[in-house]
Amino acid sequence: MDEEAARYISPLAFDRTLFEYDLLGSMAHVLMLQEEEIIPRADAAKILKALMDLHRAGPEALHMDPKYEDIHMAIEASVIEKAGEAGGRMHTARSRNDQVALALRMWVRDELDRCISLLCRLEGTLLHLAARHSGTVMPGYTHLQPAQPTTLAHHLLAHHDALMRDLDRLGDAYRRADLNPLGSGALSTSSFPVNRERTTSLLGFGGVLENSMDAVSSRDFILEALAALAMTMVDMGRLVEELILWQSREFGFIELSNRFASTSSIMPQ
């Protein structure tokens, strides 16, 4: 391929994100191939050793040449270089289609898990503060005008409840991302007797994507995760904007720690 064209279409800059997921997916795939006696045990051992060595060395050990098109081919080239002819058997009964779909689902799954964990911590903080301020009276506002008396606990729990719905949406997105596409091949599986349930178990997925064509072609799980995160950030923005208002001189309800404030380039406040 033309060198400039190869650089233009190369996803290698992003693909480093998928490095560990591709390695884990390949390890599970090779273990399954050996257990099903599709490839010899000796070849599987060589491939797994090469993958483990690469995992320890990190993505920096890869020759990230655009001619490899993506990180998945770069990893395969590295394995073949280390394991010899046996390394070529790593790709038995697998296409880059199900390989890439697998790495993306594992990545999205981990990112959602991290966001859910952080959101749970925030929910706990809001509940803790609400419990301390159930009797703290404050004005409630409509259109930035004082409207009715309420409590700080009431106000904080309004944010808590909105974020709980975000948590539900992230959980739903996680469940739909948590399905294994490996074994789907290019679009209609493989003539090799692969065991999709085994790789599902090894990689900790909640289930198998039943239709192989859907498994390799769909990316709606990414869009759903992004939509759920966008709604979460809207609700987070509402909370943060209130903190900005509350610490202003006009409100004076709170004082932000200097650890979380920066100065203006010219104004004294």
Say which CATH number the domain at 207 has: 1.20.200.10
Q: Is the same domain home to 130 and 225?
A: yes
Please check whether residues 217 and 152 belong to one and the same domain: yes
- Let me know whether 87 and 184 are in one domain: no
Whether 49 and 129 map to the same domain: the answer is: no
Could you tell me if 164 and 208 lie in one domain?
Answer: yes
Q: Are residues 133 and 203 in the same domain?
A: yes
CATH of the domain at 71: 1.10.275.10
Residues shown for the chain: 269
Same domain, 68 and 23: yes
Residue 252: per-residue pLDDT: 94
- More confident: 103 or 12: 103
**Is the residue at 168 inside a domain?**
yes
Per the structure block, which two tokens stand in for 131? 């419990």
- Domain of 127 in residue numbering reads as 121-237
SS3 148: strand
**253 in a domain, yes or no?**
no
C-alpha angle with apex 48: 47 to 54, nearest 5 degrees? 95
- For residue 249, being part of any structural domain is answered with no
- Residues 176, 227 share a domain: yes
Q: How many domains does the chain have?
A: 2
Q: If you compute the radius of gyration of the chain from its CA atoms, what whole number of angstroms results? A: 25
Read off the tokens for 178.
């948590």
pLDDT at 79: 97
Amino acid identity, residue 209? L
145-151 vs 137-142, strand pairing mode? antiparallel
Would residue 153 count as lying in a domain? yes
- Claim to verify: residue 75 and residue 125 sit in the same structural domain: no
Stretch 34-63: mean pLDDT: 96
Rounded average pLDDT over 209-237: 98
Tell me the two tokens of residue 214: 């859907």
What pLDDT sits at residue 5?
Answer: 82
Global pTM? Answer: 0.91
Q: Express each pLDDT in 64-73 by its tens digit.
A: 776 777 899 9
Q: Is residue 232 part of a domain?
A: yes
Q: Is residue 268 part of a domain?
A: no
Question: Same domain for 78 and 167?
Answer: no
Q: Is residue 259 part of a domain?
A: no
- Are 70 and 129 members of one domain? no
CB 76 within 8 A of CB 47: no
Predicted confidence at residue 95, as pLDDT, reads 96
Q: Are residues 51 and 140 in the same domain?
A: no
As a dihedral over the C-alpha atoms of residue 191, residue 80, residue 96, residue 215, rounded to 10 degrees, the angle is 60
Residue 11: inside a domain: yes
Inter-residue contact 251 to 245 (CB < 8 Å): yes
| Spatial separation of the C-alpha atoms in residues 17 and 74, rounded to whole Å | 14
Q: Which of 46, 76, 92 is the last residue of a domain?
A: 92
Residues 116-149 have pLDDT tens digits of 999 999 999 999 999 999 999 999 999 999 999 9
- What are the residue numbers of the active site? 143, 264
